[in-house]
Structure 1
Amino acid sequence: MHINFLNINYLLLILISYLIGSIPSAILISKVMKTKDPRKFGSNNPGTTNMLRIANKTSAALTLIADISKGYISLQITRMFIEDNSTSVLGIISIAVILGHIYPIFTKFIGGKGVATFLGVLLNINPCLAITAIITWIISAKISGYSSLASIITVTITPVYYLAFNKNFTYVEKSIFISLVIISIIIVCRHKNNIYNLLKKVEDKISI
């Protein structure tokens, strides 16, 4: 089905999703929990891993839940306002919320890396896909010891998982697949400093 993205309803949904993604979860939680500002300590990244590094497990868990929720809620709101659950719209919304998280308007376009919010998107699209991504991340992090490498591996392989899941049902939602590929590229690019550190063997490790 052809979707007219100039339709004001679709534009509003895209804007709302971007704004939801822009909510600075880690920063707000650091203020509520009275911990260090994740933008100024550790890796300077307002995300789950850095919150675990500079604060505590509770703050990290709350950040993870909040960031996942942003991705899930954005798609769920969209499903409420479109009649046919158009995968074209859902794909664009997925990209919008990720861009909001990475380039949030509320914090001068400096945000996180999008992995947890991406997980929320996957959870809404297909819970089994999200679970598979989580397992991939855990295994990759356990073997390598690097959260960043695990994230890069997970987001890179997730579109392939999507194809595999849809093959079982004899169809492929092309627009969702394309959106997942675009999001994967965006997130990997956001990890460019981590990739540099990995190559130089100076990337911080995590213990699982």
Structure 2
Amino acid sequence: MNPSWLLIGAMGYLIGTFPTAWLLYRLTKGGDIRNEGSGNVGARNVYEVTGKKWVGVVTFLIDALKGALATYLGYLFGGDWLPNGGWAAVGCIVGHNYNIFLKGKGGRGLATATGAALVVNPLMMFTWDIMYLIGYNVIMKNVHVGSMTATIGTAVMMYSLPDLVLAKTTLVPFYEVSDIRLFGVAMCIPLFMRHLEPIRALIRESDE
């Protein structure tokens, strides 16, 4: 591993730790969102526990901006969009999901990943959306099932799509198509990890 990747990943992580949902909940309700609803520090939970659509929308947009900003700064300081910009994006998602300043709590990374994907390869976002609809409507009408289906499906698609498709849909310069594949799969890993617990909870409920 290139030593500079550690610094770029750490930079991305710090950007990801900006606690949008936590701050907006404290400003609008005065409490700690980690103790409310699902405890998730993200757009969906802050919308559900405040009942304010604008709070959810603003949270989503700022969290998406974190992903886009981290990707750009990774490029700016690392010298290339891929792998350095992508590495910063992954670090940002990890920082959002596992925030050291919130005792390891965080969101599920979907908005942050959306921001990074829109900068590098929007096909990843569209693939995720389609897979989500399939998972939600075909497997089970549950947002976590839809999200997990979308995350796994997107990783598989980014790994297996033809080189030409990935090359044509990538908006930034790159050295090898394998860098695009790595970017797509690596971004899905922290999303997958944060959706494991709700899926486990769903399985436990079905067994009772």
TM (norm. structure 1) is 0.80
CA apart distance, 1:191: 1.9
* Residue 22 (structure 2) aligns with: 27
Distance 1:77 1:119 in 2: 16
Structure 1 counterpart of 2:165: 168
Moved over 6 A (4+): none
Q: 1-side partners of 2:28 and 2:163: how far apart?
A: 42
Which amino acid is 1:189 matched to?
Answer: M
CA 1:155/1:35 → structure 2, altered by over 3 Å: closer, same or farther? Answer: farther
Query: 1-side partners of 2:77 and 2:189: how far apart?
Result: 28
Query: Are the counterparts in 2 of residues 19 and 105 from structure 1 also a CA contact under 8 Å?
Result: no
CA distance, structure 2, for counterparts of residue 137 and residue 115 of structure 1: 12
Matched-pair contact (CA < 8 Å) for 2:17–2:96: yes
Unaligned runs of 5+ in 1: 203-208
CA distance in 2, matches of 1:73, 1:139: 30
Are the equivalent residues in 2 in contact too, given 1:115–1:155 (CA < 8 A)?
no
Q: Could you report, residue by residue, the CA deviation over 1:88-129 in whole angstroms, capped at 9, with x for unpaired residues?
A: 223322221111111112212221121221222211211233
Task: Map 1:85-124; keep pairs closer than 5 Å.
Answer: 85-124=80-119
Any idea what SS the aligned residue of 1:145 has?
coil
Which residue number in structure 2 is paired with residue 46 of structure 1? 41
What is the alpha-carbon distance in structure 1 between the residues aligned to residue 197 and residue 166 of structure 2?
39
Between Structure 1 and Structure 2, the one with more helix by share is 2
- CA offset digits 1:152-187 (Å, max 9, x no partner): 111111123334264426696223423432332332
Alignment of 1:57-72 (within 5 A): 57-72=53-68
Rounded to whole Å, the distance in 2 between the matches of 1:104 and 1:17 is: 12
Rounded Cα–Cα distance in structure 1 between residues aligned with 2:167 and 2:37 = 46
Task: Answer with 149-158 or 189-198: which moved more.
Answer: 189-198
Task: Provide the rounded CA distance (Å) in 2 between the counterparts of 1:35 and 1:164.
Answer: 47
- What SS does structure 1 have at the residue aligned with 2:87? helix
Distance 1:17 1:66, change over 3 A: same
SS of the residue aligned with 2:86? helix
CA contact (8 A) 2:67 2:93 kept: yes
The question of whether the paired residues in 2 share the 8 Å contact of 1:36 and 1:55 is answered with no
State which of 190, 200, 203 in structure 1 corresponds to 2:204: 200
Long gaps (5+) in structure 2:
169-175
Query: What percentage of aligned pairs have identical amino acids?
Result: 27
Query: How well do the aligned residues superpose, as a CA RMSD in angstroms?
Result: 2.6
Tell me how far 1:139 sits from its aligned partner. Answer: 5.0
Count of residue pairs the alignment pairs up: 196
Mean Cα deviation higher: 152-161 or 10-19: 10-19
> In the superposition, relative to structure 1, how do residues 140 and 62 fare at CA in structure 2: closer, same or farther (>3 Å)?
farther
Match of 2:146 in 1: 150
| Contact residue 12 and residue 90 of structure 2 kept, 8 A | no
Aligned partner of 1:5 in structure 2 is 2
* Residues 18-48 of structure 1 deviation map (CA, whole Å, 9 limit, x = unaligned): 1110111110111233365321111111112
The 1:120–1:86 alpha-carbon spacing in structure 2 relative to 1, beyond 3 Å, is closer
Amino acid at match of 1:194: P
For the structure 1 residues 151 and 36, does the alpha-carbon distance in structure 2 shift closer, same or farther, using more than 3 Å as the test? farther
